[in-house]
Structures are given as structure tokens and as C-alpha cells.
Amino acid sequence: MTTGQKTKTQLKSFPVPKQLATLTDLTPQEAQAVTDAVNPLIADAFALYVKTKNFHWHLAGSHFRDYHLLFDEQADAIFESIDVMAERVRRVGGTTIRSISHISQLQTIEDDNNDFVPAGEMLKRLMEDNRHMAQMIREAIAVCDKQRDSATSNALQEILDQTERRTWFLFEVVQGLNNTD
């Protein structure tokens, strides 16, 4: 077996090693449900962050400056949300993302490896990915509420608000797609 062809082990975030078992009043089942709901959001946030930065770096067209700044601002907000979510998972006694392969096991947002994507298509793809994130966050909030974890639910509600803001901004820009060439 050569490098890069190793069999990938499915990583688990629960149960945690004894040294990482943060004390909480949640039952192990509640903590696992929260962990299982939030970790895919973290993976998707990493995927969306990279895609947004990819588009930021590979942008071309007449609206370069505006979109370049918009994508950078949005990427920063996405990146900030990752630490918030990961630390919530740790606070309830779970473990979180360990590697790029762990992200790839959990992510539901597709990577974007195209050589060139027109600016208008970038906007549409990011808008749809943010909408998808919003849907996933709502589902995770419901899990957290059911598991008595209002702190994680509240943190996710803030992240949902930011995600909806990104979607709104992208939607409004998409409305003028004739101007994106």
C-alpha cells in the first residue's frame, strides 16, 4: 500500500477518551445526540469556508472588487462559526473534527474543483450552499432543544442568523445577474 492509498477509518466522536470526557449534566445519550448533530455542521462550515475562499481567490469579471470583498467577509464569518460550534461539542462532552479526512466523512456540501466558475455561478452556488447550511442548522437546533442543550441551541441560532444574512446578501446580488459579467 502506497502513501495516499491507506484505508480510511471511520472516525467517531462518541464515546470520548476518558481524558476528554468533559463533565456535564447531560446524559451520555443527550451529549452524543448533540455531538452527532453539530459535527456535520462543522464539517460543512469548513467545506463552505474553503469554497468561499476558493471563489474569493479565483474571481474574475467586472464586479471583481465587490465580490472579492463580499466573499472574504463571508468566509471570515463562516470560519468564526467553526470554533463556536466545536467548543460547544467539547463542552457537552463530545469530540469534534480531527482532520481533513474527518471533514470529508461528514460534509454534505460538495467541494468545487472546477478550473473556472463565472462570477454569477459562484454567487448562485454559495447562495444554495448557505441555504443548505441554514436547513441543517435548523435541524440541529431541534436536536439540541430536544436534548435539553439550550446553550448549543442558542449558539446555533446566532450562527443561523449569520447564515441567513449571507444567503440574503447573495440572493440580492443574484437578482442583478445580468450585471455580473
Which set of grid coordinates corresponds to residue 140? Answer: 440541529
Question: What angle do the packed helices 28-57 and 150-174 form, to 10 degrees?
Answer: 20
The confidence score (pLDDT) of residue 153 equals: 98
Are 61 and 121 in contact by the 8 Å Cβ rule? The answer is no
Domain extent listing, the chain: 22-174
CA distance 96 to 78: 17
31-67 pLDDT tens trace = 999 999 999 999 999 999 999 999 999 999 999 999 9
CA distances from 102 to 63, 95, 96, 177 (A): 36, 12, 9, 36
Q: Residue 14 has what pLDDT?
A: 74
Position 4 scores a pLDDT of: 53
Class of domain 22-174: mainly alpha
The stretches in the chain having pLDDT less than 70 are 1-8, 179-181
